[in-house]
């Protein structure tokens, strides 16, 4: 398997454009990554990368070899998946990414339960509110909160997620409760902004009697962590737009109050993404099916608690 491991390392170095990034991706050191590439180059008798202290670029031979190497690795993945006894002996490692709020509330708590069901499958969970590149980052599964544009990935809709504009009673006492999006802008309300490379929350799209309309928003605070935004809202620092499931407990106990209710935000979506070839792997399908069922159940419970005003003490999952 050493040759296959060398090829895997080459593919990840090529895709990530960095020896150190590929080493992190493969859970090893840059020195080991470099030695694997050197060993592969000796075996092939060609140079695959032009390396300097500041850059790493594939050679023409490297570009040619990458196309074939990627197909070989895909074929190996498919062959291994074909002989796995999916009901009795699924095994391997799954690399998963999710937004912070989704990961902390829904996925992270369920990973141990998944491991209990499938003890030979390991899960590596990465949480971030930035947009991830499933292919370039070598991910098996990525959960995405937002409306997806055209995607070349395998996409499964997990849930439609209604959103709410809300603020603390202290903020409303200080600044008032805007009736709609126009008042939000005209009265210069302090909006709490989620911003990171590629983010589009510089505007809030709200549903008006004339249809969806974008409102320019501004405020003194911004972050790339959605839970930090919620904390600021609870502290009376401004108005936040949130999926209802993220703030249901605070809406239920009154620590946050809906605002601008005449023009509510458009709903967003939670989706599960994977590369088509990887979704053929039984362990990936098992993980996705397991998590989608658990997430739907947890979201339904949170919404039920919000409607009834009290926690549901009944069982949430059937193991």
99 Cβ contact partners less than 8 Å away, ≥ 6 residues apart: 127, 128, 129, 143, 144, 145, 226
Predicted confidence band of residue 15 (pLDDT cuts 50, 70, 90): confident
Q: What is the pLDDT of residue 135?
A: 78
Residue predicted with more confidence, 309 or 98: 98
* Cβ–Cβ < 8 Å for 217, 184: yes
Asked if the model's pLDDT at residue 56 lies above 50, the reply is yes
Asked if the model's pLDDT at residue 242 lies above 50, the reply is yes
Q: What is the pLDDT of residue 313?
A: 41
Q: What is the mean pLDDT of residues 148-157?
A: 79
Asked if the model's pLDDT at residue 81 lies above 80, the reply is no
DSSP reduced 3-state for 305: helix
Task: List the structure tokens of 294.
Answer: 């658990």
Q: Is the dihedral of CA 33, 39, 44, 48 positive or negative?
A: positive
**283-302 per-position pLDDT tens digit:** 888 999 999 999 999 888 88
Task: List the structure tokens of 1.
Answer: 């398997």
Residue predicted with more confidence, 35 or 1: 35
Q: What is the pLDDT of residue 150?
A: 61
Taken in order of first residue, the domains within the chain and their CATH numbers are 2-83 (1.10.10.10), 92-160+269-308 (3.40.190.10), 163-266 (3.40.190.290)
Which of 14-23, 74-83, 103-112, 244-253 has the weakest average pLDDT?
Answer: 74-83
């Amino acid at each position: 398997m050493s040759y296959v491991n060398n090829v895997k390392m080459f593919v990840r170095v090529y895709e990530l454009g960095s020896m150190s990034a590929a080493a992190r991706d493969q859970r090893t050191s840059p020195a080991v990554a470099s030695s694997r590439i050197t060993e592969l180059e000796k075996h092939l008798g060609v140079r695959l990368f032009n390396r300097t202290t500041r850059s790493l670029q594939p050679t023409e031979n490297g570009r040619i070899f990458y196309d074939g190497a990627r197909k070989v690795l895909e074929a190996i993945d498919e062959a291994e998946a074909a002989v796995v006894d999916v009901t009795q002996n699924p095994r391997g490692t799954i690399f998963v990414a999710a937004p912070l709020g989704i990961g902390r509330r829904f996925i992270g708590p369920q990973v141990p339960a998944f491991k209990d069901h499938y003890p030979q499958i390991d899960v590596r969970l990465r949480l971030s509110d930035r947009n991830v590149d499933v292919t370039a980052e070598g991910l098996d599964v990525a959960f995405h909160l937002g409306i997806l544009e055209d995607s070349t990935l395998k996409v499964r809709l997990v849930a439609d997620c209604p959103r709410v504009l809300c603020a603390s009673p202290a903020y409303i006492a200080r600044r008032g409760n805007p009736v709609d999006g126009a008042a939000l802008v005209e009265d210069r309300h302090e909006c709490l902004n989620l911003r990171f490379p590629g983010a589009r929350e510089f505007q809030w799209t709200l549903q008006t009697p004339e249809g969806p309309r974008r409102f320019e928003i501004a405020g003194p605070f911004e972050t790339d962590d959605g839970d930090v935004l919620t904390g600021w809202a609870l502290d009376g620092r401004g108005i936040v737009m949130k999926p209802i499931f993220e703030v249901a407990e605070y809406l239920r106990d009154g620590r946050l109050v809906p605002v601008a209710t005449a023009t509510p935000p458009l709903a967003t979506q939670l989706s599960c993404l994977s590369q088509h070839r990887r979704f053929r792997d039984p362990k990936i399908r098992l993980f996705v099916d397991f998590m989608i069922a658990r997430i739907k159940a947890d979201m339904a419970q949170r919404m039920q608690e919000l409607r009834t005003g009290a926690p549901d003490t009944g069982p949430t999952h059937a193991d």
